[in-house]
Each structure stands twice: as C-alpha cells, then as structure tokens.
Structure 1
Amino acid sequence: MRSAPPPSPSAPDRWFPSRKPLPEPRLRLFCLPFAGGSAAIYTPWANALPAGVELCAVQLPGRERRLMEPAYKALPELMDALMPVLLPLMDRPFALFGYSMGARIGLEVARRLRTQGGPRPLGFIAAAAPPPSHNDREPIHQLDDTGFIAKLRDYDGTPEEVLQHKELLELILPTLRADFGLAWSGDGKDTAKLDIPLSVYGGRTDKHVGQNLIEHWRDESTADVRIRQFDGGHFFIRTHGQPVLEAVREDLTRWMTAVP
C-alpha cells in the first residue's frame, strides 16, 4: 500500500500552524514575522486580543516544522504562494501586522489586494521597518558568511548559542540570508499610496531603523497614519512585548469600531 503524500506546502495548516478558528470572528489578524522568526512569536497573543479577533500567525517556509522547505528569496515568488492561502480567510474583516521583514511583506500584501481588486484591510500595522522607498540599511544578505554572521550579532535577534552552534547555523543560514533579502526588497511597479489606516511602531533605541525612517510611512497612505515609539531597540517586541500588545489591541478596537 502506498503511503499518503506529504501535505502540500500551500496547505493552510502549514501556513497557520497555531490558528484556532473562531465560529464567527469579528476580525482576523494576519501576523507576519521578522527575518528568521516564526509564527511562534505571536502565539501568546491568541488569548489576549480583543474579543472576536482570530489570530492568523503566518509560518513561512524554512523554519520550525517547515525547516526543510526552502525559504523564498524573492518577494514576487513569495506573494504568488502566499496570496492564495490568505484570500480564503479574508472573507471576514481583517487587518495586517508585520514586524521588520514582515512589514515589507505586509505592505506587498496590501498592494496586491488593491491591484487585484481584493478585499480591503481595516488597517495595517508596520513595526521596526522603514518603507521600501526609504530603506538605506546595508544589504547584509550579500555579505560572505563571516560578515553576515557578524551583522546578525549586531541585530541581536539570533541567540548567541545558535550563532556558536556550527551545525545548526549551517542549517538556518540560508533561511536567514533569504529573509534579509526579502526585507531589503525594493519597490516594484505598484507604488501608489494605500487608502487604509496605518499604525507604525518603532523602537526608541533602534539603531537600524531610526525615527527619521519611521516617519516616511506617512507618505504611504492617504488615510490616517499614526506613529508610536516604544522603549527598546530593534527587537522591542521581545523586550517590551506587553506595551506592543496593548497598542495592537487599541488599534484593532479602533478599526473595528469604525466598521458600520
């Protein structure tokens, strides 16, 4: 007897491993991770979001249970795979949250929805990232391994024990390099302003994404754009997670209240 084929990489349970569907969600929140990150960073939010909000934390290839799947190196190819998975769950009101690399992906999701005449997000939260039109950070994914690892230490996002573990590092380095390439993706053809509310989060001591870069998000939408600053550096979501969650709750409540 032939064994059952492995799940398709596009299967929803691959992309949303921690999702717990609500019978009648008021809103779905799609959360996209930072470079090298996974859906797990958002798992604690599931029971702390406003009532009726269903958490849909996206798991990209190349990490955790999808570790053996190659990570996407180019944003268009990722979008071609991701959009068909997202769209069936966008039959309810929804919002987007993206952190660092995830903010770049979230912006592209919003742009594709507009270009393709898809559903309109209630809002988009972009954290710890500049808009691609003003990304002046060093493209560290183009460095050799020694230089790339040194820059990873500078970002303080990869645990030192991982950086010191030769076999593990060899396993995850291609995903990290691919993710940083996605984070540095420039603007494509569709650069018209969005028409949805934006809420932008920045770290007060983030040496990679300063306040001057965060402010440029005001040019990315014709709707309301609000900017918040949090204590901490580039990974303030880890060091000051509770204030970030409170801000997310406030933004979602405001957007849901505005729906007729």
Structure 2
Amino acid sequence: MASASPPVLDRWFPSRKPLPEPRLRLFCLPFAGGSAAIYQPWSMALPTGVELCAVQLPGRERRLMEPAMKSLPELLDVLMPALTPLMDRPFALFGYSMGARIGLEVARTLKRQGGPKPLGFIAAAAPPPSHNDREPIHTLDDPGFIAKLREYDGTPEEVLQHKELLELILPTLRADFSLAWSENGKDTAPLDIPLSVYAGKGDKHVGLNTIEHWREESTADVRIRHFEGGHFFIRTHGPPVLAAVREDLTRWMTAAT
C-alpha cells in the first residue's frame, strides 16, 4: 500500500497518537465548520487498542489558509491518499453531519476500487443523500446564509457578530455546507458493511423518518440509535454518544476476530 510522509499525516491527523499495534483505527470526520478538535476528548475513552484518527480538513485551524474543498470529488482526490496508508490495519469510519456524507463517499470509493473494507461505518446527524430534503443554504447570499447558520446553532454567536473573523471563515462554512448537501450521484450501490446511524430526537434539520432510509444503504446489518437533543447532540449529550461508539466498535472488532 502506498506510503505517506509524516508531514502529510500530521496535516490530516494533527492529534493522532500512533499505537504500536492498533486493533482498529477510527477515522472521524467533522460537521460543517468543525475540526479534528471536536473528537479530542475521545482519545482516552475509546476501547483498548483503538487508535483515534480525527481528520483535519483544509480551511480550519492550522489549515486555515488552505482553501476548503467545495465538492466531494475534489476532496476525495486529496483525502483518499491521506487515509489509505493508515488502512493497513482494521478500521472504521465515523462521520457527523457533513462528515457522514464524506464518510459514505469514502466507503463507496473503497468498495468501487476494491480497497480495504471498513469493519463498520457510523453516520450521525445526517440524512442519506438519496433522501436529502435539507435546503441548499450554501447557495444563499451572505445575509441569508448567516441567518441559516444561526438556525443550525453550530456557529457561536460571537463568531457571527465578529465581522473580520466571519469574513475569514465564511468561505469554509459555505464550502462545507456544499459538501454536506452533495447530490447522490451515479455510484449508489449499497455498501456491504455494518452501519450504525445516530439521530437526535429533536433534530429540526434531519427528520427521524428520513433517518430510516439509511437502512437502504447497506446489505449488511444497519442499526439506528436515537439520542436526546437537537442537531448537535454530540455536544449536548456527548457521554451517551461516546458510549454508543464504544459499543459499536467493540461489537465490530469482536465479530472480526
């Protein structure tokens, strides 16, 4: 398998702490506007032998000056070469909101190219792209887009009120929402890996009925879990989410041995 130099891995996985013999690597993809830092609290709380690989996308934190990717094909062209060197061990995918859309496309790409197969994929706070009824807010003008960001309650109000900071991050946020909204495309054959889908009971942006359509995305086991909270239940109800992640990973690792 192709290798990547340490600087490449450091850029994409800034908080990764390599294990000598990991049982599993967990690749975590963020929500729109989010970064690898949102998963940092998980690093010491995952099952023994699980190596956290939180992905840092361009356009945020130390990669702030790199332009954010506006389309999935563009992102996958640079993301897949960063991921595949670390797929020499068993691995799983976790994606939250936008991250779930990216994670699905990573899994589809691996399947299409005959690459290594994830032990499982966790998709949280996102509709399957086959039933995406969310508004494409990335196409709105700046005032309209900012108003919609307030409705998502994911960007702190102090950031939305800070003109200079907002001008700096707005292109990344707009690009991220474009990724999250990406159409399903032509390569929509079901996966053949276990899926675990997490949904917020009070999520105004992803309906519980829509979540049920994830069952069509894999021919393997698909489980749906419901959590208290709205779209960002990962923030408001973090401990139950982490407990579910531990349970899913343990189940998949046990099944693989």
Amino acid corresponding to residue 205 of structure 1 in structure 2: G
Aligned with residue 80 of structure 2, among 73, 83, 94: 83
Aligned residue runs from structure 1 range 88-99, under 5 A: 88-99=85-96
> Considering only aligned residues, what root-mean-square deviation do their CA atoms show, in Å?
1.1
* Alpha-carbon distance in structure 2 between the residues aligned to 1:220 and 1:60: 25
1:33 aligns with 2:30: yes
Q: 1:90-145: CA deviations, max 9, x gaps? A: 00000000000000000000000000100000000000000100001100000000
Match of 1:5 in 2: none
* Alpha-carbon distance in structure 2 between the residues aligned to 1:247 and 1:85: 27
Per the normalisation by structure 2, the TM-score is: 0.97
Match of 2:129 in 1: 132
Match of 1:236 in 2: 233
Aligned residue runs from structure 1 range 63-212, under 5 A: 63-212=60-209
* Alpha-carbon distance in structure 2 between the residues aligned to 1:222 and 1:138: 29
Match of 2:213 in 1: 216
Amino acid corresponding to residue 105 of structure 1 in structure 2: I
Q: 1:193-225: CA deviations, max 9, x gaps? A: 000000000000000001011100000000000
- Cα displacement (A) at 1:49: 0.0
* Alpha-carbon distance in structure 1 between the residues aligned to 2:132 and 2:30: 18
Structure 1 segments (4+ residues) deviating >3 Å: none
1:58 aligns with 2:55: yes
Q: 1:67-108: CA deviations, max 9, x gaps? A: 000000010010010000100100000000000000000000
* Alpha-carbon distance in structure 2 between the residues aligned to 1:211 and 1:65: 36
Match of 1:16 in 2: 13
- Cα displacement (A) at 1:188: 1.9
- Cα displacement (A) at 1:40: 0.3
Uncovered stretches (5+) of structure 1, i.e. residues with no partner: 1-7
* Alpha-carbon distance in structure 2 between the residues aligned to 1:213 and 1:17: 34
* Alpha-carbon distance in structure 2 between the residues aligned to 1:154 and 1:248: 27
- Cα displacement (A) at 1:243: 0.3
* Alpha-carbon distance in structure 1 between the residues aligned to 2:195 and 2:87: 18
Amino acid corresponding to residue 228 of structure 2 in structure 1: D
* Alpha-carbon distance in structure 1 between the residues aligned to 2:182 and 2:256: 33
* Alpha-carbon distance in structure 1 between the residues aligned to 2:71 and 2:254: 37
* Alpha-carbon distance in structure 2 between the residues aligned to 1:91 and 1:213: 34
Amino acid corresponding to residue 56 of structure 2 in structure 1: Q
- Cα displacement (A) at 1:11: 1.0
Aligned with residue 43 of structure 1, among 32, 40, 44: 40
Q: 1:207-253: CA deviations, max 9, x gaps? A: 00010111000000000000000000000000000000000000000
- Cα displacement (A) at 1:169: 0.1
Uncovered stretches (5+) of structure 2, i.e. residues with no partner: none
Matched residue of 1:36: which SS?
coil
Aligned with residue 256 of structure 1, among 248, 253, 257: 253
